[in-house]
A and B are shown apart, each in its own frame.
Chain A
Amino acid sequence: MRVERQCVINADRDAVWKVVGDPDCYPRFMTNLERWENASERPAGVEARYTVHWKIGSVPVGGLVEVVEFVESRDLAWVGITGVNLRGRIRLRDAGEGRTRVTFRLSYQAPGGILAYIADRVAVRQVGRTLADTLKRLKALVEQ
């Protein structure tokens, strides 16, 4: 499943990147985040690893993720190494004078057969709400 939410923040890309480019800040604005720990002791950037869990349904879902794209003031993407198959991306693009369009995408696929497909479908609404709320909190944090 691929879920995407967008918002426009009244700040330039560099200001938004100050928060987005520092994954250690993520517990401050990511909704339903149960765990976000640096797992590699590397500075933020490509190959940095984090243990991430969102509370989706009854239990924390996630696993070990690795940053695979880290382009300053533009893109940050990660892939899951353990747990559910997971890809995440936060995109920053100009949206006019001093404004930034932020896109938060999460693609995920639970392992297994038909039950995994059903689980993915059941989770999609909560994942969508989590992404939307995360962007709301990011906007509030940056515009503060």
Chain B
Amino acid sequence: MAGFSDVIGWARSQVASRVPKADLDQRDPDYIRDQLPGTWLLASLYFRSDVRGLHRIPAEGPVLLVGNHSGGNVPPDTFVFTLAFCSYFGVERPFYQLAHNLVVSAPPLHFLRKFGTVAANPENARLALESGAALLVYPGGDYEVFRPSWERHKVDFGGRMGYVRLARETGVPIVPVASVGGQETALFLDRGQWLAKLLMVDKLLRLKSVPISLALPWGLNIGDLAGHIPLPAKIVIEVQEPIDVDGDDLAVHDKVVASLQAGVDRLAAERRFPVIG
């Protein structure tokens, strides 16, 4: 059995070595500026997006934007919010997003680094905030993004609250970003945590879920590693009032989740139909 764990360890180190070190200089404002019209078309015509409350984000300085995450491996909320942030504050304001190791190390997704996407770990997050940038994080990560579609209006970070410590240590405010619609871009059936354990990708690839969904163009989609074509669900995003980190971690975390859940409930109440909005 020792030999087996050695193999696991070796495979894990191979994956880890392929995760690029965070280089904040890879963000390219001119590249982002050139991509904005295309993303604007997609956001405006396909997802009929509506982004509200951007004025609540402090006009300058570092800030930790904490959102609820939806849409599987093709999360429309991330790119819609990135478009909105860059349009509102200009591509000149440094803005980074944390993403799963597999996202930043996948060759077809290298372009995301030019948008400011860096691997999700505490060192990279601290590096970005200490440089004075705005940072978008989704604490729920792969746990929340693959929740079943019938839980689409539930904010669930799976107990993760490292972001509070990050905000406290770097002295930045937390701005909650609530969104709805992303979990209607496919029919997510199960997180598949049992499958992740069975296939041992939880240890090898840090993948806690191997989701099972019905999605275009695959039909039954297991893993979602190749992504999918999202249904044109209406995406609505609400930026909320900043929250100061002035209590213990759990109290601040509860405040953030309560604020997000209230926002999601409010936005969900405005929807008459799934997908259509």
Contact = CB atoms under 8 A, between A and B. Distances in A.
B181 to A, nearest CB: 12
The SS class assigned to the A binding surface is mixed
Interface string B41-57: 10111011111001100
Interface in A55-81: 57-64
A82 B89 CA distance: 10
Given A53-B87, A119-B38, A59 B43 contact: yes
Given A112-B36, A122-B44, A58 B90 contact: no
B51 A122 contact: no
B189 to A, nearest CB: 29
B37 interface: yes
Interface residues of B, number: 26
A62 B86 CA distance: 11
B40 interface: yes
B37 A115 contact: yes
B43 A116 contact: no
Given A53-B87, A63-B90, A83-B90, A58 B38 contact: no
A136 B87 CA distance: 27
A119 B41 CA distance: 6
B84 A59 contact: yes
B49 A58 contact: yes
Tier of interface size on chain A: 20 to 34
Interface in B12-57: 33-38, 40-41, 43-45, 47-51, 54-55
Nearest to B90: A82
A116 B80 contact: no
Contacts of B84: 58-60
A111 interface: yes
Nearest to A117: B37
B88 A111 contact: no
A118 B34 CA distance: 13
Interface string B231-247: 00000000000000000
A99 interface: no
Given A35-B88, A64-B90, A83-B87, A58 B37 contact: no
Given A59-B49, A60-B84, A82 B37 contact: no
Nearest to A110: B37
Contacts of B47: 58
Interface of A: 34-35, 53, 57-64, 82-83, 110-113, 115-116, 118-120, 122
Given A58-B83, A112-B38, A116-B34, 11 more contacts: A57-B40, A60-B87, A62-B87, A82-B91, A82-B92, A112-B36, A116-B38, A118-B41, A119-B37, A120-B37, A122-B45
